Amino acid sequence: MSVDHAALAVRLREAYSGETVPPLRDGLDPTDADGAYAVQALNTRHWVGAGRRVVGRKIGLTAKAVQAQLGVDQPDFGVLFDDMRVADGGTVDAGKLIQPKAEAEVALVLARDLDKADATAADLAAATAHAVAAIEIVDSRIADWKISFADTVADNGSSALFVLGSETKPLDGLDLYTCGMALEVNGQLASLGAGAACLGHPLEAAAWLARTLAARGEPLRAGDIILTGALGPMVVLAPGDTVTAKIGGLGSVSFTAGGK
């Protein structure tokens, strides 16, 4: 298959206007990680050139069941930009989203650079300034979320926006393995989970990311935000919804989806 990565990158960028595109199978094999990350990197360079600032990374596919669904045995990552951040308790313009969903996560903020190709969870803990409750608002430019592994990677990890809670907590004394998560939509429980659902432990997910980025020559840096992956099932987001995530030891985080 002759692949035009640049053309695929443009196709995905143009889909941000609200028109979804079919799965990228005419240009990417569903499990083509290298090709998909090449497309993602082209768009990252385009957006940085346009003035957007990279503030971290998001990790996806941390649940084994989702990996099995997409026929892969690894997580994936996408780039977080400064303009993707929504204030805790803020309002999201749902009109700028296509088919959004929300999921609760543990976010880490790094205190120092981490450039180790063999990084461990202990290395991540030592490099972390604090943890914070987070909600990721995911979206897909691929029609009807009919994504393969390559589709979601190329589409910047099916990313859209993220919200960080107002409370930051040092890792000392936190139990990110057994911590419970409750995600509420309009005051009604919509998703349950725990830290262990995130690749066994949020720090293990972050260590995978550190190793992967170090091997690519793009190591994590001080100040980077890491969304470590969903703690439970994602929920479909509708205009007018207020979403609140509560995570044991980390407090809560919320946002409201404005009407279209």
Residues 126-135 pLDDT 10s:
999 999 999 9
Residues contacting residue 28 through CB under 8 Å, at least 6 positions apart: 3, 8, 35, 36, 39, 148, 150, 151, 154
> Of 147 and 2, which is predicted with more confidence?
147
Other C-beta atoms lying within 10 Å of the C-beta of residue 218: 15
Task: Give the model's confidence band at 164: pLDDT under 50 very low, under 70 low, under 90 confident, else very high.
Answer: very high
Q: Is 1's pLDDT higher than 70?
A: no
CATH superfamily of 5-258: Fumarylacetoacetase-like, C-terminal domain (3.90.850.10)
What are the extents of the domains in the chain? Answer: 5-258
Residue among 79, 82, 131, 124 at smallest CA distance from 109: 131
The continuous run of DSSP H or E covering 189 comes out as strand 188-194
Q: Is 119's pLDDT higher than 70?
A: yes
Other C-beta atoms lying within 10 Å of the C-beta of residue 207: 23
Distance CA 28, CA 35 (A): 7
pLDDT at 2 (0 to 100): 60
pLDDT at 259 (0 to 100): 72
pLDDT at 63 (0 to 100): 80
pLDDT digits (tens, 9 = 90+) for 228-260: 999 999 999 999 999 999 999 999 999 999 875
